[in-house]
Amino acid sequence: MRHFDVETLTPGRWLNGGGATREIASQPETGEFGWRASIADIDRDGAFSVFPGVDRTLTLVAGNGVLLTSPGAFERLPAREGEPVSFSGDLDLSAELLDGACRVFNIMVRRGRWTGRVARVADPVVPPPGHAGVLHVLRGRWQAGDSRLVLDGGQGVWWDEHDSASGEGVVPLSPDAVALWADLVPTG
């Protein structure tokens, strides 16, 4: 398992100036990604980038929320803290902030090559063999695998489908422990 701390990841500004993205992991590391995990800070209302052939799951981790709109697909779908919202990257999508900037956990998977599911968890997570994944701590303290690495809010771990992380798992250490787990499965 590879450790990350969101605050030490280098932010890259969006082309439209509406926010910044901090990449957690992208596999493969070069060329077209099969899956990508990131944290995005949305600073103002505006359009989201279109990603043809990509399925996305966005989960609010800080702030008052964001309303997502795509004409003809859905209107004003709210994103609430810890509640994953999935949509096609093909959509022409805009975002409207609900009273200030927010931060989101963003999972993107290349359709036909990967599937992804994001869940809010408070129980131990044991990665299934052959799956990739990301665990991002929202609150509390967690222990990652046999390494005895302790994770706090804004930190996490990720692994790819070739890692032998399946026996280790990530376990909550405090009663208030809550995390987001992205389970990423190769399909082809």
- Span 31-79, pLDDT tens digits: 899 999 999 999 999 988 899 999 999 999 999 988 989 988 877 777 7
| The amino acid at 54 | V
Q: How far apart are the first and last CA of the chain?
A: 23
pLDDT at 164: 65
Cβ atoms of 113 and 72 within 8 Å: the answer is no
The SS3 of residue 146 is: helix
* Nearest one of 188, 181, 187, 186 to 37, comparing CA atoms: 181
pTM: 0.93
Cβ atoms of 102 and 65 within 8 Å: the answer is yes
Tokens linked to 51: 């990603």
Angstrom distance (rounded) from CA 169 to CA 146? 8
- Mean pLDDT rounded to a whole number for the chain: 91
